A and B are shown apart, each in its own frame.
Chain A
Amino acid sequence: MACLTRPREGNRVAISDEEAVRFRATVIELLMISHPHDCPVCDEGGECHLQDMTVMTGHVYRRYPYRKRTFENHDLGPFVTHEMNRCIQCYRCLRFYVDYAGGHDFDAFGLRNEVYFGRLRDGALDSEFSGNLVEVCPVGVFDDKTLAAHYTRKWDLQTAPAVCAFCGRGCNTIAGERYGELRRVLNRFNGEVNGYFLCDRGRYAYESVNGAERVRKPIVGLSGLSASELVRGLGARLESALGERRVAVGARPRVARPRPVGIGSPRASLEANFALKRLVGAERFFLGLADGEQTLVERAAELLREGPSPAPTLHDIEAADLVLVLGEDLTNTAPMLDFSVRRWARLRPTVAEERLGIARWNDAGVGAVKKEEPSALWLATTHAGKLDEIAAETFHAAPDDLARFALALAAALDSKGGSRTAGEPPQKSRSAKARSAKRSAADGPSASLTADGPASDGDARLERFAAALRAARRPVVISGVSCGSLALLEAAAALARALPGPPPAAAAPLALVVPEVNSMGLVLLGGGRLSEAFRLAAEGDVEVALVIENDLYRRAPAAQVEAFLKASRTAIVIDHVKTATMAAAAAVLPAASWAEATGTFVSHEGRAQRSFQVMVPPRPVQPTWRWLSALASAARLPAGQNWLRLDDVLAELARERPDLAPAALVAPNADARVADMKIPRQASRYSGRTAMHADVSVFEPTPPDDHDAPLSFSMEGYRDEPPAPLVTRFHAPRWNSVQALNKFQQEVGGPLRGGDPGVRLIEPPAVPTSIPAAAQSSTAVTPSPPRPAAAPSSRPAPPPAFRPALDRLLAVPLHHIYGSEELSMLSPPVAGRAPAAYVALNALDAERLGAREGRPLKVTLDELHLSLPVRIVASLPEGVAGLPVGLPGQPFVALPAELEIEHEDGHA
């Protein structure tokens, strides 16, 4: 076989030689020997690699006269089906699930032609990336269980390129619709963001679009007004609110009269938020983030903008020789970053590989070498996560201590200023640095005080971390806002500044995780704080409150939200799912979900990406910006009145905000055509066109026009390869499976032709580095050259060390991949995997407080009295408790916060 033979000078490779063709046909015939006769009932049918290859090699009749081998199946949980009879023993599932995704509950069993892939016994797959088995498996052993519940063939799905709406990472997806229902989500390759894979939240949360929790009709207090009447009424209300102000400003400029406020949302598109900002005016627009979160995300955006650390792309992570994670439980806050780190840990280039002459394609060899090599992943988090098992070392401490630890590391690394505490003259020798590191550790910034008694342990740890960082030539720092600690954010940035970066960048890349799909875009757009809006309402300065795609009860304490909604006389909520906020609204307008509207979202690295409308929602559901534009027209406001298409909104955005102008250019606009044609959302074999609506009317409806995108809701259009941001499906003639992706890439594993989609809105200023080329290529252990921004004076002061108190605990947020995100919890398969509310305690604290696993514990926090079952989390530092974030029904609490234990009957 040629695929594992090294090319040599003078080799000739023929893939269309008669012998090669015959050889391939024989291989396929061999694979088909035990393949069951069940393509018609197999979910892979029509997008099956084996099916494609069988057709391509021309195997038609079975010649093998003996019996077929069969296997029993496992129940693999709510995400993935299992039908082992179809297996061709290619081992892809094992290589993905165990080698790359780091799963432990899956293996190959048995011998020879009876090798079995599965779990030891029935049970849900444990990995957060199990859904990728659906795409990785070339046959139908693993398929999408949620798709099977409303099964549709690939050719019957109306698909469009979307951006995953369920975390801040901005993974690219292809979402598919049939009969007005969203039916599945597949990965869409983007070499800079998610590569070939998706997490299970991203893949299975789509059912929230179909769910019972959708708002599909306007909801008005009493009367059943039509949508247009309602908009007219609300517009008049808005006009009067503004009109009063106009008069007031004209007559008595000092007296403020009631006016509208707009509250945006991190899960609404950039266009929707911009439309709202234009409608209510910049000074009356509030971001709709929790106050603490807004501070953090705003600072994260600033840090990325100021630089010198750029946000890493997937390529930067893959090329790293060390990854340091500060305070992020990546598995749960940005799952695909977790996966990228795992994949990097498996594939990162190492010296040993070079020395032993192991080629990159030799996966088994690379894997064997990696097993012997020490890990290059270093973690400092509040509690143990799934990544801990592949880390070189982990350190768990309270957020403030993590910040102190990061600053101590930065000080230890600093080649110029020596210690952070004492202003010594700059020293450059290694020993001086080591000394300064030790001293600064002894001075206190090391966060060892609480975690494990003697300070010397902490010193040694700091020294081990520092030594690893010092040796790193291309480190990447990953931190984020999920800890809720500003100090940690600053410290992570300071540490990244002290580390060397890949050539054009002056410092190590810094990934800052933000919670929601458009958190970063919202902050870049800019607006006031929720508390300011509440204050305005309390002062009686709010006549109309416009809330878009936001459940305020998830952003602020319930009492404050209630007061706000009561004080603002008319609350208009525009959203696509039912929320608690709607209860007090005067009117609710049904918005289009992410799958029903085209919009731009900005990911945590500042990458603007267009997510295209997959399906046409039933009237009167429409995109939020259209509702706002209609309101503007009804209120006879100039802003946004003439917006007919998304491009009008984007043009206005580009005019008003030149810094956000590239957001308009991330994908071709609605007028773009390829060979005078739109790109079809439906495959050329899309079936049932003249029958699917026939039960309603035999007269087929005209396909709806799409005014917002150069995609059409029909089979007609440009059939060949579209521009990369407009790829509606991976399919090439004869390549029906997802393997057709290789036809869309510049080379296998390379970027999509025309470049991976998405434009970064934030790039740090290009700092001309003074690093000579020789220093870059040298293998010196002390690579950090002087960097402009690394002056220790600019470093933030460390926060005071965390000291555990006897009577109270510090509650830190614990995120859950299934549970912490609002929309994904409306998808039954995801909700089924979510935990119930709990309070996590360290074993020592639990013993001290007399709390036992599973028993309810009464706690008070932020004037809220809660009774929560205890979960012992051994890795939590002493004096720190954990509370799950964002679970449905749990009241909002700004974390981290002080948590008091109510003693009454808890003691045994």
Chain B
Amino acid sequence: MSYLRGLWIVFLHLFRRSDTVQYPKEMTYLPPRFRGRIILSRDPDGGERCVACYLCAVACPVDCIALQATEDESGRRYPAWFRINFSRCIYCGFCEEACPTYAIQLTPDTEMSEYARASMVYEKEDLQIAGTGKYHDYNFYRVAGLSIGGKGKGEAENEAPPVDSKRLLP
């Protein structure tokens, strides 16, 4: 009896929609917050968002992020180089959570197969994208009190103009 039931169920599946997708001809839907390949985004003004604070590197449980901070002549910090060893990455998303500037983001892209492990090592130019990624409006330097090129002291959000330290008025 159970055999017949099993056959009946298999028969019914002939009329169900197939779950199998003809990848790669057909792509499956991955939501925007899917944790796939990591990118470095830019702020709305087109500047690099990454300020090389090392928080992604320290948050990484497999230590697969390494970078070196540097700054331009106006004092703006950015990574001189930024490397992610995707052959070690576990796509946990901790780096994105740790990032104070929304620079590092995980994307719904999983197509990263390579024949050689060395090809899984991504440098900054492989990671940097042209857009803002998931977060469109945030620009760290508009909020932070550090002056950079094009933004002086007291010009960030919620800041008073610089104090004249030689003024003695009460």
Contacts and interface: CB of A to CB of B under 8 A. Distances in A.
A70 B161 contact: yes
Interface stretch (B5-13, B17-25, B118-126): B118-126
A73 B166 CA distance: 13
Given A36-B146, A153-B54, A689-B63, A148 B163 contact: no
Q: Which of B52, B54, B101 has the most CB of A within 10 A?
A: B54
Given A37-B144, A698-B87, A71 B65 contact: no
B63 A698 contact: no
A373 interface: no
Interface string B97-130: 0001100000000000000011011010000000
A155 interface: yes
Nearest to A686: B63
Contacts of A382: none
Contacts, number: 136
Contact of B165 (A39, A67, A71): A71
B162 A71 contact: yes
A39 B159 contact: no
A23 interface: no
Given A71-B163, A695-B121, A36 B54 contact: no
Interface stretch (A110-118, A311-319, A360-368, A490-498): A110-118
B158 interface: yes
A111 B170 contact: yes
A40 interface: yes
B66 A687 contact: yes
Nearest to B148: A41
A845 to B, nearest CB: 43
B160 A69 contact: yes
Contact of A690 (B71, B88, B140): B88
A657 interface: no
A151 B54 CA distance: 10
Contacts of B83: 691-692, 694-695
Interface in A531-576: none
Nearest to A151: B69
A694 B85 contact: yes
Contacts of B71: 148
Contacts of B165: 71-72, 109-110, 114, 116, 118
B35 interface: no
Contacts of A46: 54
B84 interface: yes
Interface in A133-185: 148, 150-153, 155-156, 179
Contact of B65 (A40, A686, A691, A695): A691
Given A40-B100, A109-B166, A691-B88, A70 B63 contact: no
A81 to B, nearest CB: 10
Interface string A659-694: 000000000000000000000000001111111101
Interface residues of A, number: 45
B63 A691 contact: yes
A212 B19 CA distance: 63
Contacts of B37: none
Contacts of A698: 85, 87, 117-118, 120-121
B124 to A, nearest CB: 11
A308 interface: no
A685 B143 CA distance: 28
A151 B52 contact: yes
A27 B88 CA distance: 44
Main secondary structure of the interface of A (DSSP, over half): loop
Interface string A680-720: 00000111111110110110000000000000000000000
Interface string B63-101: 111111111000001000001110110000000000011
Q: Which of A109, A179, A692 has the most CB of B within 10 A?
A: A692
Contacts of B140: 40
Interface string A36-59: 111111000110000000000000
B60 interface: yes
B53 A41 contact: yes
Nearest to A688: B66
B38 to A, nearest CB: 12
A83 B156 CA distance: 15
A67 B159 contact: yes
Contacts of B55: 40
A112 to B, nearest CB: 8
A671 B154 CA distance: 57
B48 to A, nearest CB: 12
Contacts of A70: 145, 153-154, 159-163
A156 to B, nearest CB: 6
A179 B123 CA distance: 16
A25 to B, nearest CB: 22
Interface of B: 51-55, 57-58, 60, 62-71, 77, 83-85, 87-88, 100-101, 117-118, 120-121, 123, 140, 143-146, 153-154, 156, 158-163, 165-168, 170
23 contacts: A36-B145, A37-B156, A38-B145, A40-B51, A40-B55, A40-B100, A40-B144, A41-B53, A67-B159, A70-B162, A72-B162, A72-B165, A109-B165, A111-B168, A112-B170, A148-B71, A687-B63, A688-B67, A691-B65, A692-B66, A695-B83, A695-B121, A698-B85
